[in-house]
Amino acid sequence: MSNEFPEMIPRTECHSTRRTYRTKDSRYHMKGSYCTDCGEKYFPPRQGLRCPNCGGRDLQDYYPPKRGEVLTSWKDDVGYPATGYTDFPPRTIVVVKLDDGLHIISEVVEMEGELVEKGTPVKMVIRKHKREDTGNWVYGYKFALAE
């Protein structure tokens, strides 16, 4: 802690600045990839050159819909922040089924550990995740209750 950064900055698992830059499209826009041969979708995007489903080589960028519904939720309340994160629990973690069928595990903001009913509509929002090793904030997607 310091005057400049009053909250706790865990140094054990900080995001590196370069890794943060390389993954920004996935965190800001939920960029994934899909195979043009078999149609399989991947999130986060495949790093390899081949589709593990069919072996095809033509993987294209894919941006899934930013809305979906909750399949299940649970309370993250172990008493300390997840490694590298500065937010203290309780947090609400959910499995979201996006409108195109992709499943994503994420956090629902402003719920403070309250469970979310199955089928509740949610939308993607950008929120602070954690600190880089330089002290800068890493932003990324989370979900919020949709109207």
State yes or no: residue 36 binds Zn ion (CB under 5 A). Answer: no
Which of 25/40 has CB closer to Zn ion? 40
CA distance 44 to 46: 7
Say which residues have a Cβ less than 8 Å from residue 135's Cβ, sequence separation at least 6: 4, 5, 9
CA angle 131, 136, 137 (to 5 degrees): 55
46 binds Zn ion (CB under 5 A): no
3-state DSSP assignment of residue 81: coil
Give least dist CB 33 to Zn ion, A.
10
**Based on CB atoms, which residue is closest to Zn ion, 40 or 76?**
40
Among 21, 22, 38, 103, binds Zn ion (CB under 5 A): 38
Q: From residue 78 to residue 117, what is the string marking binding to Zn ion with x (rule CB under 5 A)?
A: ----------------------------------------
16 makes contact with Zn ion (CB under 5 A): no
CB atoms near residue 35 (< 10 Å): 22
- CB of 31 closer than 8 Å to CB of 5: no
Which residues contact Zn ion (rule: CB under 5 A)? 35, 37-38, 40, 51, 53-54, 56
